[in-house]
Every structure is written in structure tokens, then in C-alpha cells.
Amino acid sequence: MIERERQETGRIVYSCTGDGKTLRNILEEELNMSSRFMSKLKKTKTIYVNGKFKKFDYKVSSGDIVDIVMEEEESGFDAQEIEVSVKYEDFDMVVVDKPPFMVVHPTKSHDSGTVANAIANYFQSKGYQIRIRFVNRLDMNTSGLVMIAKNPYAHHIISEEMKSNNVVKKYRTIVKGVVKDDEGTIDEPIYRPTEDSIMRTADPRGQRALTHYSVMERYEDASLLDVRIETGRTHQIRVHMKHIGHPVIGDELYGEADENLIGRQALHAYSLEFSQPRTKEKARVSADIPQDMQDLIWKLKKRG
């Protein structure tokens, strides 16, 4: 049983409720730890039972307290004073609302001014010494919710939840044309033609991708959609919308840019639902669509 009141970012406290299990059983079966993470604990000798270091074959008893210390690490990114909107935080996770035009982490073409730089500064201001581990990423011109794990345990658990489609990811997007059906599912594999290709295509040779959508509003020649994705393929929503003949407005890669309407693709990750890695309590985080998409909706309504 996880002892919620005793949890810290770099520490897991577990109360044993039965006799006969080994420490390895607890780590694998109760805490769902990966072999890689367990190997690190073994190497650093940072796992204790009732305050004393124990090996994995140690048999625990009911009432024993297993205490796991996760060594803190540097963030790995330069801290920069960039405002960041934190929508959720606990001892394991931070969820931020990424504005449009901001890159998630530094690249050759964007070596500063990223979400990673902003979060490094945020952690530093709170006195945290934490390595930044992104659970999900968004394209530079897509706005919305980005998850960051504060420790390797949380990163592993949430990443596995992502792979199992247990994290509910919802988006709002505005697409070209009037979508006829009130709702639908796009089940089309997404393929990368070449290793250096930026674009993806809907192609049987690719990986399966599932996108569910429903129409919220229809305009003269556009539609506002609520979208839920079960998989997380690169550019998934953008590729699928193009595939059904309704590319995202402003998407210069899969449609066409239209500076008169909006300066980027009209796509926003507005909702995440997940289970807290340790307590398993349900969390739902949301972020309002940004002003440029609100302005786009106003322009489309004014047209028709």
C-alpha cells in the first residue's frame, strides 16, 4: 500500500500488507517497476526495509516499510526565465499548457526558449534538482498540454499507460470543409516514407493509428472538431484529417497556410486524463483553447 502522506518527488514509501513476498515481488508486482529501474536501485543501494538496505531476495513481513530513494539529477537543460502555465502538479508529475510557436525541447534550430528551458527555471525556482523527462510532446505550432515526469519511476509508469492507451488525450481542431458525419473513427496506419522525411502519410505499410472525432460546430466551409486519439503517432491528427479530405486549417505541411485566418495549424491539446502513478487516483487536466483559435472561430462565424 502506497503511503500517500509520506511520498516525495525522489522517494517512494510502501507499506507491506502480507508475509512471504520477496522485495523483488513487491517491486515488480506491486510497484510495476522495470528491470532497468530495479538494476539502478541495486547498483546505488538505495532501497531500504525499515531503514536498512536490503537485497531483492529479502522476504518482507506485514507492516514492513519499504523505502526507495531515487537519486536526484540535474535538469539537463539551461534554465531561462520564460513564463509557463502549470495546470497540474504533484510529487510525480507536472502538466503545462504549451503556447503555440514554442518548441518542447532544444534542437539544432531552436536551442533556447523551449518548454524544457522554462521548466528547468520553474524547478530551479522551487529548489528542485530534477531531471526533466517528457512523457508526451507536441509539434511547435500545436498548443496544449504537455506532461513532464519528475522522476524515472513516474516516467516509466505513465509511459506504459500511454502505450496501453490508458491516458485519454483530447484535442480541439478546426478543419477545412463541412464534415458530414456527426462523429466518426479514422483507423488508418501512418507511414514515414523515408528516414529523413518530415511528412507522414496514411499508408498500409505504417503503424496502426486510431483517431475518433465528433463535430462540435459547422461553419460555411469549416468545422470545429473534438478529437480523441488512441495512439500517438507523429502528426497523427494532421495526417488523418488530410486523409479524409478535411485538412487542419493553417497546416502548411498537410494543407496550406492562411495568414488571414490563423498563423499556424489550428490544433490544441485541451485535455488529459490519467491515473496518478503511485496512488492511482484519477486526474483530469484541461486547458482552454488559445486566443488565435478563438479568433479563427469568430472569423468563420462572421463569414457565414
Alpha carbons 282 and 260: distance in angstroms, whole number: 41
Alpha carbons 280 and 142: distance in angstroms, whole number: 29
Which uninterrupted H or E stretch holds 212?
strand 210-218
What are the catalytic residues? 139
Alpha carbons 5 and 11: distance in angstroms, whole number: 12
Residue ranges of E strands in the chain:
11-15, 47-49, 52-53, 65-69, 85-89, 93-98, 133-134, 143-149, 168-176, 183-187, 190-191, 201-202, 210-218, 222-229, 267-275, 282-286
| SS3 assignment, position 24 | helix
* Residues near 302 by beta carbon (within 8 Å), at least 6 away in sequence: none
C-alpha cell at 81: 526565465
Phi-psi category of 243—alpha, beta or left, where left has phi over 0 and alpha has psi -120 to 50? Answer: alpha
Pairing of β 267-275 and β 143-149: parallel
The count of C-alpha atoms lying within 13 angstroms of the C-alpha of 236, restricted to the half-sphere facing its C-beta, is 26
